[in-house]
Amino acid sequence: MSQAVVRCQRAALEHAYSLIAQFIEVCPEPIWAQSFGGWPVWQQVYHALGGLQSMTLREGESPDPGLYPPEAGMFELIPDKVPTRKDMFAYAARMKAKADAYINALRDVDLPDPNVGLTARMKARGVERAFSHAQTLSMLAGHLLYHLGACDAALRQQGLKGVF
């Protein structure tokens, strides 16, 4: 079975992930802990990376416990403790592994089919529609890049070069 389309979408995710990893590495400590747009920069990164798991977790799979309670990943609370870069890189690697496992199992023929896990999680949050595997693949890179844009804006507001 072909994975031609899946490979193209994987490339988009790889690019987005490499940029967010680069951001984690270069963001100065004062900006990392500072709030921009209502949330600490590190929490934007944490949320974006957590989305990799949220979108790809299959029904019945256990979620990674993360660095904070789930509410932190959903911007429902701001934890007191700022994570270290080392902790964020480890979390990023675990979330990327979850996305990779999901993508590895997909074939092009699966793309129109519903992503049952994501659809159920979104329904629990009040979104009453199905999400296909094709939509999921698009959203993986898009969600990372959206939040990376917010993080890059924090760098630029301080006169620094962004990664995006």
pLDDT at 56 over 90: yes
Classify residue 34: in a domain, yes or no.
yes
For position 160, what pLDDT does the model report?
A: 95
Judge whether 83 lies within some domain. yes
Asked if the structure places residue 164 within a domain, the reply is no
**What is the model's pTM?**
0.95
Whether 46 maps to a domain, the answer reads yes
Instruction: Give the integer Cα–Cα distance in Å for 139 and 33.
Output: 27
Segments forming the whole domain that contains residue 131:
4-157
What dihedral angle (degrees, nearest 10) is formed by the CA atoms of 100, 138, 49, 64? -50
- Measured CA to CA, the distance from residue 29 to residue 114 in angstroms comes to 41
Whether 85 is in a domain gets the answer: yes
Q: What is the pLDDT of residues 57-95, one digit of tens each?
A: 998 889 999 999 999 999 999 999 999 999 999 999 999
Q: Which of 135, 140, 161, 145 is nearest to 45 (CA)?
A: 145
User: What average pLDDT does this structure show over 116-144?
Assistant: 95
Q: How many domains does the chain have?
A: 1
The whole-angstrom separation of Cα 164 and Cα 19 is 7
In a domain, 86, yes or no: yes
Residue 40 bridge partners (DSSP): 35
Question: What average pLDDT does the structure give for the chain?
Answer: 95
Query: Domain holding 139: CATH number?
Result: 1.20.120.450
In a domain, 163, yes or no: no
Alpha carbon distance 132, 136 (integer Å): 6
Evaluate whether residue 67 is within a structural domain.
yes
**Residue (of 160, 120, 155, 133) closest to 44 by Cα position:** 155
